[in-house]
Protein backbone atom coordinates (compact mmCIF):
# COMPACT_ATOMS: atom_id res chain seq x y z
CA UNK A 1 0.00 0.00 0.00
CA UNK A 2 1.37 3.38 -0.99
CA UNK A 3 0.69 6.21 1.46
CA UNK A 4 2.11 9.68 1.17
CA UNK A 5 1.61 12.48 3.68
CA UNK A 6 1.88 16.22 3.06
CA UNK A 7 5.35 17.69 3.24
CA UNK A 8 6.22 20.73 5.32
CA UNK A 9 5.24 24.04 3.79
CA UNK A 10 3.46 22.48 0.80
CA UNK A 11 0.03 23.73 -0.26
CA UNK A 12 -2.46 20.90 0.12
CA UNK A 13 -3.79 19.56 -3.15
CA UNK A 14 -6.77 17.84 -1.57
CA UNK A 15 -8.19 17.90 1.92
CA UNK A 16 -7.92 14.66 3.86
CA UNK A 17 -11.11 13.54 5.54
CA UNK A 18 -10.79 11.83 8.93
CA UNK A 19 -13.56 9.40 9.81
CA UNK A 20 -15.34 9.83 13.14
CA UNK A 21 -14.92 7.03 15.70
CA UNK A 22 -17.36 4.15 15.26
CA UNK A 23 -18.92 2.35 18.22
CA UNK A 24 -19.10 -1.43 17.91
CA UNK A 25 -20.41 -3.42 20.88
CA UNK A 26 -19.64 -0.63 23.31
CA UNK A 27 -16.03 -0.37 22.05
CA UNK A 28 -14.89 2.68 20.14
CA UNK A 29 -13.20 1.54 16.91
CA UNK A 30 -11.10 4.22 15.26
CA UNK A 31 -11.27 3.90 11.49
CA UNK A 32 -8.24 4.91 9.43
CA UNK A 33 -8.27 8.35 7.85
CA UNK A 34 -9.81 8.47 4.40
CA UNK A 35 -7.38 8.69 1.49
CA UNK A 36 -7.37 11.67 -0.83
CA UNK A 37 -6.82 9.47 -3.88
CA UNK A 38 -7.07 5.78 -4.79
CA UNK A 39 -5.43 4.59 -8.00
CA UNK A 40 -7.12 1.41 -9.24
CA UNK A 41 -5.17 -0.74 -11.70
CA UNK A 42 -7.04 -3.68 -13.28
CA UNK A 43 -4.56 -6.37 -14.30
CA UNK A 44 -4.93 -9.65 -16.16
CA UNK A 45 -1.70 -11.42 -17.14
CA UNK A 46 0.35 -8.21 -16.91
CA UNK A 47 3.45 -9.54 -15.11
CA UNK A 48 5.72 -7.74 -17.57
CA UNK A 49 4.38 -4.24 -16.90
CA UNK A 50 2.44 -3.99 -13.65
CA UNK A 51 5.43 -3.44 -11.34
CA UNK A 52 6.83 -0.68 -13.57
CA UNK A 53 3.40 0.97 -13.67
CA UNK A 54 3.13 0.93 -9.87
CA UNK A 55 6.67 2.31 -9.52
CA UNK A 56 5.97 5.17 -11.95
CA UNK A 57 2.76 6.10 -10.15
CA UNK A 58 4.53 6.13 -6.80
CA UNK A 59 7.39 8.23 -8.16
CA UNK A 60 4.93 10.68 -9.71
CA UNK A 61 2.69 11.18 -6.68
CA UNK A 62 5.17 10.87 -3.79
CA UNK A 63 6.19 14.51 -4.02
CA UNK A 64 2.59 15.74 -3.81
CA UNK A 65 0.93 16.70 -0.51
CA UNK A 66 -1.83 14.08 -0.56
CA UNK A 67 -2.59 10.70 0.95
CA UNK A 68 -2.90 8.06 -1.75
CA UNK A 69 -2.98 4.32 -2.18
CA UNK A 70 -2.35 2.09 -5.18
CA UNK A 71 -4.71 -0.86 -5.57
CA UNK A 72 -4.01 -3.56 -8.15
CA UNK A 73 -6.92 -5.87 -8.90
CA UNK A 74 -5.48 -9.15 -10.15
CA UNK A 75 -8.35 -10.43 -12.28
CA UNK A 76 -7.59 -14.15 -12.23
CA UNK A 77 -4.17 -13.89 -13.89
CA UNK A 78 -2.38 -17.11 -14.87
CA UNK A 79 1.09 -15.57 -14.55
CA UNK A 80 2.97 -13.74 -11.78
CA UNK A 81 0.94 -10.51 -11.96
CA UNK A 82 -0.08 -10.74 -8.29
CA UNK A 83 3.46 -11.25 -7.00
CA UNK A 84 4.90 -8.53 -9.23
CA UNK A 85 2.33 -6.05 -7.97
CA UNK A 86 2.96 -7.01 -4.36
CA UNK A 87 6.71 -6.76 -4.89
CA UNK A 88 6.21 -3.20 -6.14
CA UNK A 89 4.33 -2.41 -2.91
CA UNK A 90 0.75 -2.12 -4.17
CA UNK A 91 -2.26 -3.41 -2.25
CA UNK A 92 -3.50 -6.37 -4.28
CA UNK A 93 -7.07 -7.63 -4.51
CA UNK A 94 -6.78 -11.04 -6.14
CA UNK A 95 -9.45 -13.21 -7.75
CA UNK A 96 -9.24 -16.87 -8.69
CA UNK A 97 -11.31 -16.34 -11.85
CA UNK A 98 -11.39 -13.68 -14.56
CA UNK A 99 -14.38 -11.38 -14.04
CA UNK A 100 -13.66 -8.79 -16.72
CA UNK A 101 -12.13 -5.33 -16.99
CA UNK A 102 -15.16 -3.52 -15.61
CA UNK A 103 -15.59 -6.05 -12.82
CA UNK A 104 -12.00 -5.52 -11.72
CA UNK A 105 -12.45 -1.74 -11.68
CA UNK A 106 -15.68 -1.99 -9.68
CA UNK A 107 -14.01 -4.28 -7.16
CA UNK A 108 -11.11 -1.87 -6.72
CA UNK A 109 -13.47 1.09 -6.33
CA UNK A 110 -15.68 -0.76 -3.83
CA UNK A 111 -12.64 -1.97 -1.88
CA UNK A 112 -11.26 1.52 -1.28
CA UNK A 113 -12.28 4.79 0.32
CA UNK A 114 -11.07 8.11 -0.98
CA UNK A 115 -12.30 11.48 -2.17
CA UNK A 116 -10.94 10.91 -5.69
CA UNK A 117 -10.55 7.72 -7.73
CA UNK A 118 -8.13 7.29 -10.63
CA UNK A 119 -7.99 4.36 -13.02
CA UNK A 120 -5.08 3.43 -15.24
CA UNK A 121 -4.17 0.33 -17.25
CA UNK A 122 -1.33 -1.92 -16.14
CA UNK A 123 0.17 -2.39 -19.61
CA UNK A 124 2.35 0.73 -19.76
CA UNK A 125 0.31 2.54 -22.41
CA UNK A 126 -0.68 5.55 -20.28
CA UNK A 127 1.78 7.99 -18.65
CA UNK A 128 1.17 8.14 -14.87
CA UNK A 129 2.79 11.59 -14.86
CA UNK A 130 -0.41 12.96 -16.40
CA UNK A 131 -2.24 12.21 -13.14
CA UNK A 132 -0.80 15.40 -11.63
CA UNK A 133 -2.52 17.91 -13.98
CA UNK A 134 -5.61 15.68 -14.07
CA UNK A 135 -5.96 15.94 -10.29
CA UNK A 136 -5.80 19.71 -10.52
CA UNK A 137 -8.60 19.76 -13.10
CA UNK A 138 -10.63 17.27 -11.04
CA UNK A 139 -11.15 19.92 -8.36
CA UNK A 140 -13.82 21.50 -10.56
CA UNK A 141 -14.87 18.53 -12.72
CA UNK A 142 -16.73 15.29 -12.11
CA UNK A 143 -14.43 13.30 -14.39
CA UNK A 144 -11.13 14.04 -16.15
CA UNK A 145 -10.18 11.83 -19.09
CA UNK A 146 -6.79 11.25 -20.68
CA UNK A 147 -7.43 12.02 -24.36
CA UNK A 148 -5.45 9.76 -26.74
CA UNK A 149 -6.99 11.13 -29.95
CA UNK A 150 -3.80 12.94 -30.97
CA UNK A 151 -1.55 9.96 -30.22
CA UNK A 152 -3.40 6.89 -31.51
CA UNK A 153 -0.69 5.71 -33.89
CA UNK A 154 -0.25 2.57 -31.80
CA UNK A 155 -3.81 1.36 -32.43
CA UNK A 156 -3.79 -1.56 -34.94
CA UNK A 157 -5.03 -0.58 -38.41
CA UNK A 158 -7.76 -3.24 -38.33
CA UNK A 159 -9.30 -1.67 -35.22
CA UNK A 160 -9.27 1.94 -36.43
CA UNK A 161 -12.40 1.80 -38.68
CA UNK A 162 -14.38 0.20 -35.84
CA UNK A 163 -13.19 2.84 -33.35
CA UNK A 164 -14.02 5.63 -35.83
CA UNK A 165 -17.56 4.31 -36.41
CA UNK A 166 -18.17 3.78 -32.69
CA UNK A 167 -16.99 7.29 -31.83
CA UNK A 168 -19.15 8.88 -34.54
CA UNK A 169 -22.21 6.96 -33.37
CA UNK A 170 -21.61 7.95 -29.75
CA UNK A 171 -21.04 11.60 -30.72
CA UNK A 172 -24.36 11.70 -32.58
CA UNK A 173 -26.38 9.96 -29.90
CA UNK A 174 -24.84 11.91 -27.01
CA UNK A 175 -25.18 15.15 -29.00
CA UNK A 176 -21.64 16.15 -28.14
CA UNK A 177 -18.15 15.75 -29.57
CA UNK A 178 -16.39 13.09 -27.50
CA UNK A 179 -12.61 13.30 -27.95
CA UNK A 180 -11.92 9.83 -26.49
CA UNK A 181 -14.80 7.49 -25.73
CA UNK A 182 -13.01 4.64 -23.95
CA UNK A 183 -9.73 5.94 -22.59
CA UNK A 184 -8.42 3.86 -19.68
CA UNK A 185 -6.86 6.82 -17.85
CA UNK A 186 -9.37 8.78 -15.76
CA UNK A 187 -9.79 10.67 -12.50
CA UNK A 188 -13.21 10.86 -10.82
CA UNK A 189 -14.81 12.47 -7.86
CA UNK A 190 -16.02 9.41 -5.97
CA UNK A 191 -19.39 11.01 -5.16
CA UNK A 192 -19.98 11.66 -8.89
CA UNK A 193 -18.94 8.14 -9.88
CA UNK A 194 -20.81 6.05 -7.33
CA UNK A 195 -24.32 6.95 -8.56
CA UNK A 196 -23.59 5.14 -11.84
CA UNK A 197 -21.88 2.03 -10.42
CA UNK A 198 -25.03 -0.16 -10.74
CA UNK A 199 -25.17 0.64 -14.47
CA UNK A 200 -21.53 -0.13 -15.23
CA UNK A 201 -20.85 -3.47 -16.97
CA UNK A 202 -18.19 -6.04 -16.14
CA UNK A 203 -16.56 -6.00 -19.58
CA UNK A 204 -14.38 -3.53 -21.50
CA UNK A 205 -17.37 -1.24 -21.98
CA UNK A 206 -16.97 0.14 -18.44
CA UNK A 207 -15.20 3.29 -19.69
CA UNK A 208 -17.60 3.78 -22.59
CA UNK A 209 -20.56 3.48 -20.23
CA UNK A 210 -19.30 5.95 -17.63
CA UNK A 211 -18.46 8.45 -20.38
CA UNK A 212 -21.98 8.33 -21.80
CA UNK A 213 -23.60 8.31 -18.36
CA UNK A 214 -21.84 11.48 -17.29
CA UNK A 215 -22.22 13.31 -20.60
CA UNK A 216 -25.90 12.43 -20.99
CA UNK A 217 -26.63 13.66 -17.47
CA UNK A 218 -24.77 16.95 -18.12
CA UNK A 219 -22.02 16.33 -15.60
CA UNK A 220 -18.71 18.17 -15.91
CA UNK A 221 -16.31 16.09 -18.01
CA UNK A 222 -12.91 17.46 -19.02
CA UNK A 223 -10.28 16.06 -21.37
CA UNK A 224 -6.51 16.44 -21.28
CA UNK A 225 -4.19 15.24 -24.09
CA UNK A 226 -1.92 12.32 -23.18
CA UNK A 227 0.82 10.39 -24.94
CA UNK A 228 -0.21 6.83 -25.73
CA UNK A 229 2.60 4.26 -25.80
CA UNK A 230 2.74 0.80 -27.32
CA UNK A 231 1.36 -1.72 -24.85
CA UNK A 232 3.48 -4.35 -23.11
CA UNK A 233 1.97 -7.79 -23.67
CA UNK A 234 -1.10 -8.73 -25.71
CA UNK A 235 -4.40 -6.87 -26.01
CA UNK A 236 -7.43 -8.52 -24.37
CA UNK A 237 -10.00 -6.90 -26.73
CA UNK A 238 -11.65 -9.21 -29.27
CA UNK A 239 -13.62 -8.52 -32.48
CA UNK A 240 -16.96 -9.42 -30.84
CA UNK A 241 -16.48 -6.56 -28.36
CA UNK A 242 -17.20 -4.08 -31.19
CA UNK A 243 -20.82 -5.21 -31.48
CA UNK A 244 -21.17 -5.21 -27.70
CA UNK A 245 -19.95 -1.59 -27.69
CA UNK A 246 -22.60 -0.56 -30.24
CA UNK A 247 -25.37 -2.25 -28.24
CA UNK A 248 -24.09 -0.60 -25.10
CA UNK A 249 -24.10 2.89 -26.64
CA UNK A 250 -27.70 2.42 -27.76
CA UNK A 251 -28.79 1.15 -24.33
CA UNK A 252 -27.17 4.00 -22.39
CA UNK A 253 -28.53 6.70 -24.70
CA UNK A 254 -32.04 5.18 -24.55
CA UNK A 255 -31.76 5.26 -20.76
CA UNK A 256 -30.71 8.91 -20.50
CA UNK A 257 -31.67 10.59 -23.81
CA UNK A 258 -34.20 8.32 -25.57
CA UNK A 259 -35.47 10.99 -27.95
CA UNK A 260 -32.03 11.05 -29.62
CA UNK A 261 -32.93 7.59 -30.97
CA UNK A 262 -36.73 7.51 -31.18
CA UNK A 263 -37.20 10.88 -32.93
CA UNK A 264 -34.84 10.19 -35.89
CA UNK A 265 -36.08 6.61 -36.26
CA UNK A 266 -39.71 7.74 -36.31
CA UNK A 267 -38.78 10.58 -38.66
CA UNK A 268 -37.33 8.17 -41.22
CA UNK A 269 -40.48 6.04 -41.19
CA UNK A 270 -42.69 9.14 -41.38
CA UNK A 271 -40.85 10.48 -44.45
CA UNK A 272 -41.01 7.07 -46.10
CA UNK A 273 -44.75 6.92 -45.39
CA UNK A 274 -45.32 10.42 -46.81
CA UNK A 275 -43.28 9.63 -49.92
CA UNK A 276 -45.17 6.37 -50.49
CA UNK A 277 -48.50 8.13 -49.90
CA UNK A 278 -47.70 10.78 -52.54
CA UNK A 279 -46.65 8.05 -54.96
CA UNK A 280 -49.85 6.08 -54.28
CA UNK A 281 -51.99 9.18 -54.86
CA UNK A 282 -50.52 9.52 -58.33
CA UNK A 283 -51.68 5.95 -58.95
CA UNK A 284 -55.05 6.60 -57.26
CA UNK A 285 -54.41 3.64 -54.96
CA UNK A 286 -53.39 4.14 -51.32
CA UNK A 287 -51.36 1.09 -50.26
CA UNK A 288 -51.11 -0.63 -46.87
CA UNK A 289 -47.35 -0.01 -46.73
CA UNK A 290 -47.83 3.78 -46.67
CA UNK A 291 -50.35 3.58 -43.85
CA UNK A 292 -48.13 1.10 -41.96
CA UNK A 293 -45.10 3.43 -42.19
CA UNK A 294 -47.08 6.43 -40.90
CA UNK A 295 -48.60 4.44 -38.04
CA UNK A 296 -45.20 2.96 -37.15
CA UNK A 297 -43.73 6.49 -36.98
CA UNK A 298 -46.49 7.60 -34.60
CA UNK A 299 -45.99 4.51 -32.40
CA UNK A 300 -42.20 5.02 -32.22
CA UNK A 301 -42.61 8.70 -31.35
CA UNK A 302 -45.11 7.78 -28.64
CA UNK A 303 -42.70 5.22 -27.21
CA UNK A 304 -39.97 7.85 -27.28
CA UNK A 305 -42.09 10.29 -25.28
CA UNK A 306 -42.91 7.62 -22.70
CA UNK A 307 -39.24 6.64 -22.46
CA UNK A 308 -38.30 10.31 -22.06
CA UNK A 309 -40.73 10.74 -19.17
CA UNK A 310 -39.38 7.60 -17.48
CA UNK A 311 -35.83 8.89 -17.96
CA UNK A 312 -36.68 12.23 -16.35
CA UNK A 313 -38.25 10.46 -13.38
CA UNK A 314 -35.17 8.26 -13.06
CA UNK A 315 -32.83 11.26 -13.06
CA UNK A 316 -34.90 13.27 -10.59
CA UNK A 317 -32.73 14.03 -7.52
Where do the structural domains in the chain lie, given as residue ranges?
A: 22-256, 259-314
pLDDT at residue 94 is higher than 70: yes
Q: What is the mean pLDDT of residues 208-224?
A: 90
Q: Quote the CA–CA distance of 245 and 31 in Å, as a whole number.
A: 40
List CB contacts of 184: < 8 A, sequence separation 6 or more.
119, 120, 121, 125, 126, 146, 207
* Banded model confidence at residue 240, pLDDT cuts 50, 70, 90: low
What per-residue confidence (pLDDT) applies to 248?
73
What per-residue confidence (pLDDT) applies to 3?
44
| pLDDT greater at residue 205 or residue 139 | 139
Whole-prediction pTM: 0.74
CATH number of 22-256: 3.90.550.10
CA distances from 188 to 2, 83, 132, 204, 304 (A): 19, 28, 13, 18, 32
Q: What is the mean pLDDT of residues 145-165?
A: 69
Amino acid sequence: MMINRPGVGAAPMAISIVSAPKVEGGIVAHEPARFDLTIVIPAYNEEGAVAATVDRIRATLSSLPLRFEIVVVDDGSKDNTKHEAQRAGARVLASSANGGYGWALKRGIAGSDSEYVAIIDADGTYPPETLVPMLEIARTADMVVGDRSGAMNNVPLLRRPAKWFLNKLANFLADREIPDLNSGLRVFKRDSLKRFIPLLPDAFSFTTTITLCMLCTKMQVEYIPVAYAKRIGQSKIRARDFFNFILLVLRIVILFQPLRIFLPLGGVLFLLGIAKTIYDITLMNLSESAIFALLAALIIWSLGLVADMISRLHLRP
